[in-house]
Amino acid sequence: MARSQMMHGSEAGPSPWALAGLSDGAAHQLEQWLDGLCNLTLDEWCAIGRACARQRATNADEGAALDALDDVIQRQRLALTAWYVRDLVNTAAYAARREAEHTSRARRRELSAAIAAAERAALAIALHPSLGAADSARLRGPFALGGEPPELRLV
């Protein structure tokens, strides 16, 4: 069953109440993107974590983008929505997190970095209409949206 069916009961159902502060388009795009996260392997999550480390070393503007994101969340009173979006990312990463319990500390750190990046990316997708395009792109980090419907791509 697709995540959208789990959350709504049907493909065309309304967004859950916790996503009520988001535009319908943003909520739909987020759901499709999260479906892609569910399919990532531990190796793919770890590769994202390594990419995050490389990007963080060269991305001095990430702090400003995070401040802009926090401002949107506070201004629009979306703290519960932001928590819910982060929880959805952690749910999508559950299988990888379980598998990582039996790997090296380095791989667990990579996975944690990737999940944190996915949380930022998910919030950027969800709040894109209110967040500037440049900040949204910075927060998506090693993730990109492409295709119709939107799909997960690693950059």
pLDDT in tens, the chain (155 residues): 344 433 443 444 545 666 777 887 888 888 888 988 998 999 999 999 998 888 765 666 788 899 999 999 999 999 999 999 999 999 999 999 999 999 999 999 999 999 999 999 999 999 988 998 889 888 887 776 543 334 455 54
**Sequential DSSP letters for 121-133:** HHHHHHTTTTS-H
pLDDT at 104: 96
pLDDT at 2: 43
Rounded Cα gap, residues 55 and 47, in angstroms:
12
For the chain, the structural domain boundaries read: 24-154
Tokens of 12: 């065309």
Kindly give, in sequence order, each residue whose CB lies less than 8 Å from that of residue 75, ignoring residues fewer than 6 positions away: none
Tokens of 15: 């967004």
pLDDT at 24: 79
pTM of the full structure: 0.81
pLDDT at 103: 94
pLDDT at 62: 80
Rounded Cα gap, residues 42 and 84, in angstroms:
23
Contact status, residue 130 vs residue 70, Cβ threshold 8 Å: no
